[in-house]
Structure 1
Amino acid sequence: MTKQRPKTDTSAVNVADYIVARLAAEGIDHCFGVAGDYVFPICDAVDNSAKVKWIGCANELNASYAADGYARIRGAAMLATTYGVGELSAMNGVMGAKAERSLVFHVVGMPSYQHQRLHKIAHHTLGDGVFGNFVELSAGAACCHAVINPENCVVEMERIIAEARRNNQPAYIAVPSDYALSPVVSADVKPIVPKSNEAALQKAMAIIAERINKAKSIVAFPAFTISRLGLQKEAQKAIEALGCPFVTTLMEKCVIGESHPQFAGMYAGAVSEPKTRKIIEGADLVLDLGGVNLNDITTAAYSGQLDLSRFVTVGLDDVRIGDQVIANVRLEDILSGLAKLKPSSAPYKGKPQGLAQVNGRPSDKITMAALYPRYAAFLRAGDTVILETGSSSLGVTPTILPDGVRVEAQVLWGSIGWATPAAFGVALADPSRRTILITGEGSHQLTANDVGAMGRFGANVIVFVLNNGGYLIERALEENPDWTYNDVAPWNYAELPKALGCANWYTARVTTVGELDEAMKAARASKTGAYIEIVGGKMDMPPALAFAHGQLQAMYGDTP
C-alpha cells in the first residue's frame, strides 16, 4: 500500500493555498497537471481546496492542451507542473495558448529558495547550481510572469491576473517549494479590473462613427477573440445595429450562427465563394472586431486581395486605424458603443445556406464526400466540436453547421495532437454541452493516452478518429505522397478505450456508410463516452485539401 503524504496544514494561509484560492476566484474549478516533488505544495493546496479539483493528465504536454481547451470555454484555466522537465514539456501547449489568446495560469513549483541560495546540485537541473535557467524560457511562452514569495504574493498575483486578463494570454507563476509552504504576508490590495480610459473610448468611437458614416459599403469581421472573451452576444448586437454583412475565417467558425441573415460566408482568400470575396475585398470599410488573424492558413496562402488601409481594427485593448493607435480601449466597450448606432440603410440580408446533402448507399465505402456532410448532420445545438489540425479542420469548416454548435480548432499554432486533450478540457469546462472530437489517427497517436483521463474523470466525449493510413495533410502537401515518414503505426483504434480504462464506452470500427450511420446513432444515444474508428481511403481528401494538392501537382508534375 502506497503511503500518502500528509495534507498541507491549512490553519494559516500559505502561499500555495493563496494562489489556488485566488485562481479559483477567477472561475477556475479544475487544475490540470502532472505531480512532481517541487510542485507538491501546489498539488496539496488543490487537494485541500473545496473549489478546485485536481485533474491528472498523462503528461505535461497533454495537460497544457487540456488547459487550453478549458480556458476557451471558461475564460481561464490552471496548469500545474514541476520545475524544468515538467514546465518545458508543457511549453509547446502554453505557447499555442499564447498564440491563440487562451488564458492559462501556468503554476510551476521550483526547488526551494534555500537550495537556490546555496547553489545545490539538484535533480531536474543542468547540474550547475543555477536555478533561473528555465524562468526566462517559460516566461517567453506567457504575456507576464512572476517568481512568488510570501512578501510579494498578494501584490504580484493581482498584477499577473490583471495583465493576463488584459491580453487574454497565459501567465507564468513560479514558486520555490519552501516559499509555497510559508504564510502569506498580508497586503491591502484590491483586484485590478482592466477597463477603458473614458476619454480614449470617446475618441475611438467618434472616429469609428465618422468612418462608418462616410463608407458606402461596410463589412464586419468578428475575430476568434470574441469567443475567447465570451462576447458572442455583444458582437452579434453590434453587427445587427450596423446592419452590415459579416464574414468569418476558419478561426471564427460559428462564432455567430451561420443561419444569421447577415452572414455572408467564410473568407479564405482565393478559395472563398465569389460573393463572399467580393463583399469583403470590395468594402469601403472593414470593421475588424477583435483582431482577425490573417495568416497563411486562413487566407489560403495569402491568396486574397484585402486592402488593410480600409480596416478599422478593434483589439482587446486598443483601436488601430491606419497608423493611428488609440490605447486603453477595451473591445467589449467598443462593441457596446457600436450596438447603440443606427444603420443608415436597410440591413443586409443574405440567403442562408442549408446543411450539405447527405449521400451514399449503406454498402458504399466511406469517402470524404460522404463523411463531412454526415458530421454536419450529426452535430446539433448544444454540441462543442473540437477539430484537429489538418484534414479534419479543412473538411468540417467549409460545411454549414447548425446554430448553437461551438467550434474550437488550433488554426494558427497548428500543433498536431492538440485536439484530443483539448476536447478533454472542453468537456470538463462545460459538461452541460456534448463534446465531439473529430481527429485523424496521425494526430491522435501523439496524445491518445488521455482518452484514459476522459474515462477516469467522466468526460463523456464522442470521439471520431479517421484512419486513412498516416498523415493525410502531409501527403497532400508533398510532391510525392508515398514518403515513408508519413506512415504511422497501425493501431487497433477501436480497442483503445477499453485498454485505457474506458470499459463502459461505446466503440465501433466502421468501413461502410451504413455502419457509420448506425455507429453515429449509437454514439449519440450513449450515456457514456463513445469512440468510432472510421476507415477511409489513403488519398481521399476533403475539397479544400484536394484543391491544394491539385495545385501542387500542377506546379511540380506527377512524381513517380
Structure 2
Amino acid sequence: MGANINIRVQNLEQPMDVAEYLFRRLHQIGVRSVHGLPGDYNLIALDYLPSCGLKWVGSVNELNAAYAADGYARVKEMGALITTFGVGELSAINGVAGAFSEHIPVVHIVGCPSTISQRNGMLLHHTLGNGDFNVFANMSAQISCEVAKLTNPVEIATQIDHALRVCYIRSRPIYIMLPTDMVQAKVEGARLNTPIDLSEPDNEPESEAYVVDVVLKYLRAAKNPVILVDACAIRHRVLDEVHDLIEKTNLPVFVTPMGKGAVNEEHPTYGGVYAGAGSSPPQAQEIVESSDLILTIGALKSDFNTAGFSYRTSQLNTIDLHSDHCVVKYSTYPGVQMRGVLRQVINQISASELNVQPSPVVENEVAKNLDDSPIITQAWLWPRVGQFLQKKDIVITETGTANFGIWDTKFPSGVTALSQVLWGSIGWSVGACQGAALAAADDNSGRRTILFVGDGSFQLTAQELSTMIRLKLKPIIFVICNDGFTIERFIHGMEAEYNDISNWDFKALVDVFGGSKTAKKFAVKTKESLEQLLTDPTFNAAECLQFVELYMPKEDAPRALIMTAEASAKNNAKKD
C-alpha cells in the first residue's frame, strides 16, 4: 500500500498538501478571511491559512462564526467557516441552515477524526459513542448543496474543485469533511494554474429563445407592465442584467423587502417596496396589483417578504424568472435560467415598444412623520435613517423592528442591505455585521457598515462585539432599546413575561470586551439628540467602532411589522 502511495505522489507534477490546495482555491475565489473556532481535529489544517493568504477569524462561538461567514459572503460573494467534528459543527448548524435558506454560498469545512479511526469505529471524544462517523455529515447534508468527504487522495482535488463550483453556482452552503490524516496527503498542485470555472452553463438555445419570445410578446402587449426585483436576483448575481433592463425599458421597478438594495433607489423609475398591504409608499401596492403584467426576478414569496401573504396579484398576470427555471403565467420552463433570458430580452426590446407608466415618487418622509414629542418613534426613525445613509453603505437589519422599519428607508445608490427575512434567526445580524465589516475591510473599500439590532436580539449574540473590537473593525451599531422582543409582542403576548428581557447596560459591554480605548459609546433618548449625532461629521466619518443605545417606546413598531404580525398570528391560529 505504501509503495503505491509513493508511486502516486512521484507521478504528481507539483505535489501539494490537501489543506494548502483547499485554502489556495478559497483564495482564488475571493475569500480572504476564514471564520471558525479551533478544535483538535482541525488544528493542523489551521496552520496552513497564513501561507495561503487567508486570515483566521476566531469567533467566540461556532454559531456566531456561521452568522459571520454568512454576512461576509453577502458582501464578498463567498464565505468560509472551519469547525471541529461534532460539537463544533453542530453549534454552527443553525447559522449554516440560515445560509441555505437564504441562498448564501458558505463553505463549511469540518475537521474530523482520521480515516483509520473512522474505519475502526473507535470510541473517540466528540462522537455519539456508537462508532457512526457519518451522523453529523448526514445532518448537514440536508442544508448543503454538496457534501464532500475527503477520504481518498486520488479524488480529493477533483472533489474540492467540484464542491466549490457548486457552492458558487447554486449560491448555497457546501460541507467539506477533512479527516486529520488527509490534511497533509498529497494532491496535484498544478491544477491551481487553472482557475475553477465559475460560469453558469448556458441555456439550451431553442428553449431559451422560445421563453424569450413569449416574454417579449406579453411585455409588448401589456398596458401597464412593471418589474419586481426579489432576493434571488441578488443571490444569483443578475443585478447587472436587472439594471440594464431598467435602463432599456424605463419601466417602473419595485423591490420586495428581501430585494432591498438590489436596485438603485435613486433611479427615476424606482417605485419603492412592494409587499402587498405593507408596501412603501402605499401607492406601490396599487400600481403593482393593478398591473396587467408583473415581471418578477428572483422571487421568494415568503410570509414576511409579502407582509403576511398579502399579495393581491394573479399568476395570470405574472412572469417569474428564477435561477433554474422560468414561469410565464401558468406555463413552467424547467432548466431555463433567468440570466440568459434577461440578456436576450434586453437585447431585443426598446422602451418605444412598451406602454410605460409613471413610477410613484419615493422620498424619505421625515417631515411628514415628525411630531412635537421628543420621543424617537419608529415612523420618524426609518425615513431619517435614509437621510443619514451614504452611497455604498452596508446596512444590516435584525429580524424584528429593524427588518420591517427599513422598508420605509429610501437608500442612496450603491447601498448593500443585509437582512434575514426568510430564516429569521434572532441574533443573526450581530455576527453578520462582523462578517460584513470584515469583508469591506478585506476589500479596502472604505464602506461604512451600519447595524440596527433590537435589545432582545443583541443579547443572543452580544459576544461577537468582542471579535469586532479585536479585529479593529469600525461598524456603527445601533441597539434599539425598547424592552424586549417587539415582534413577538405584536404576534402574541404584548405584556407576556416570555417576551421580556433583562435590562443590560449595553454600552458598557464595549469596555468589557476590550474597546474602552478604541471605541465610542452613545446613549440617545430624544429626536434632538439623535439628530445631533446623525449630523455630527466625526460620527459620520466612522473611523472607529461606534456603539449607540437608541431608546424607543416598548409598544411602538413599524407599520409593516404590525400588519405582518397580525397576519402571522392568524396563520399560526389556523386549523383544518
**How big is each residue's C-alpha offset from its partner over 1:219-242, in whole Å with a ceiling of 9 and x where there is no partner?**
211221222244323211112323
In the alignment, is the contact (CA less than 8 A) between 2:16 and 2:186 conserved in 1?
yes
Q: Does 1:137 align with 2:139?
A: yes
What's the offset of the Cα at 1:315?
1.3
Cα gap change, 1:161/1:325 in structure 2, threshold over 3 Å: closer, same or farther?
A: farther
**How big is each residue's C-alpha offset from its partner over 1:517-536, in whole Å with a ceiling of 9 and x where there is no partner?**
33332532441110001122
Cα gap change, 1:391/1:517 in structure 2, threshold over 3 Å: closer, same or farther?
A: same
Distance 2:515 2:364 in 1: 33
Q: Pairwise mapping of residues 320-399 of structure 1 onto structure 2 (< 5 A)?
A: 320-322=327-329, 324-340=331-347, 341-343=349-351, 344-345=353-354, 347-358=356-367, 364-399=374-409
2:296 aligns to what SS in structure 1? strand
What's the offset of the Cα at 1:421?
0.9
Q: Does 1:425 align with 2:441?
A: no
- Of 56-65 and 209-218, more deviation after overlay is shown by 209-218
**TM-score, normalised with respect to structure 1:** 0.91
Q: Pairwise mapping of residues 305-320 of structure 1 onto structure 2 (< 5 A)?
A: 305-320=312-327
**TM-score, normalised with respect to structure 2:** 0.88
Distance 1:410 1:379 in 2: 20
What is aligned with 1:3? Answer: none
Cα gap change, 1:41/1:211 in structure 2, threshold over 3 Å: closer, same or farther?
A: farther
| One-letter amino acid of the structure 1 residue matched with residue 396 of structure 2 | I
Aligned residues: 542
What's the offset of the Cα at 1:514?
2.5
What is aligned with 2:201? Answer: 195
1:298 aligns to what SS in structure 2? helix
**How big is each residue's C-alpha offset from its partner over 1:84-124, in whole Å with a ceiling of 9 and x where there is no partner?**
11111111111111111110011111111111111110011
What is aligned with 2:457? Answer: 443
Residue in structure 1 matching 2:296, options 282, 288, 294: 288
What's the offset of the Cα at 1:367?
2.7
2:421 aligns to what SS in structure 1? coil
List alignment gaps of at least 5 residues for structure 1. Answer: 1-10, 556-560
| One-letter amino acid of the structure 2 residue matched with residue 243 of structure 1 | N
| One-letter amino acid of the structure 2 residue matched with residue 393 of structure 1 | N
**How big is each residue's C-alpha offset from its partner over 1:53-102, in whole Å with a ceiling of 9 and x where there is no partner?**
11111111111111111111111111111111111111111111111111
Distance 1:405 1:507 in 2: 25
Residue in structure 2 matching 1:298, options 290, 297, 305: 305
| One-letter amino acid of the structure 1 residue matched with residue 123 of structure 2 | I
Q: Does 1:265 align with 2:287?
A: no
Distance 1:530 1:274 in 2: 34
In the alignment, is the contact (CA less than 8 A) between 1:219 and 1:283 conserved in 2?
yes
In the alignment, is the contact (CA less than 8 A) between 1:312 and 1:320 conserved in 2?
yes
What's the offset of the Cα at 1:453?
0.8
1:492 aligns to what SS in structure 2? coil
| One-letter amino acid of the structure 1 residue matched with residue 467 of structure 2 | A
Distance 1:139 1:44 in 2: 27
What is aligned with 1:176? Answer: 179
What is aligned with 1:111? Answer: 113
**How big is each residue's C-alpha offset from its partner over 1:499-544, in whole Å with a ceiling of 9 and x where there is no partner?**
1112211101122222223333253244111000112222122222
Distance 2:87 2:110 in 1: 11
What's the offset of the Cα at 1:551?
8.1
| One-letter amino acid of the structure 2 residue matched with residue 191 of structure 1 | I
What is aligned with 2:423? Answer: 413
What's the offset of the Cα at 1:419?
0.5
- Of 463-472 and 195-204, more deviation after overlay is shown by 195-204
Q: Does 1:279 align with 2:287?
A: yes
Q: Pairwise mapping of residues 120-159 of structure 1 onto structure 2 (< 5 A)?
A: 120-149=122-151, 150-159=153-162
Q: Pairwise mapping of residues 486-505 of structure 1 onto structure 2 (< 5 A)?
A: 486-503=499-516, 504-505=518-519
Residue in structure 1 matching 2:551, options 516, 530, 535: 535
List alignment gaps of at least 5 residues for structure 2. Answer: 1-13, 572-576
What is aligned with 1:472? Answer: 486
1:271 aligns to what SS in structure 2? coil
What is aligned with 2:468? Answer: 454
Distance 1:210 1:363 in 2: 54
| One-letter amino acid of the structure 1 residue matched with residue 196 of structure 2 | P
Residue in structure 2 matching 1:16, options 16, 19, 22: 19
Distance 2:379 2:422 in 1: 26
| One-letter amino acid of the structure 2 residue matched with residue 496 of structure 1 | L
| One-letter amino acid of the structure 1 residue matched with residue 434 of structure 2 | F
Distance 1:279 1:423 in 2: 35
- Of 365-374 and 25-34, more deviation after overlay is shown by 365-374
Cα gap change, 1:201/1:55 in structure 2, threshold over 3 Å: closer, same or farther?
A: same
Q: Does 1:544 align with 2:548?
A: no
What's the offset of the Cα at 1:444?
0.5
Cα gap change, 1:549/1:119 in structure 2, threshold over 3 Å: closer, same or farther?
A: closer
What is aligned with 1:47? Answer: 50
- Of 412-421 and 372-381, more deviation after overlay is shown by 372-381
What's the offset of the Cα at 1:323?
5.5
Identity %: 33
What is aligned with 1:161? Answer: 164
In the alignment, is the contact (CA less than 8 A) between 2:225 and 2:355 conserved in 1?
no
| One-letter amino acid of the structure 1 residue matched with residue 88 of structure 2 | G
2:523 aligns to what SS in structure 1? strand
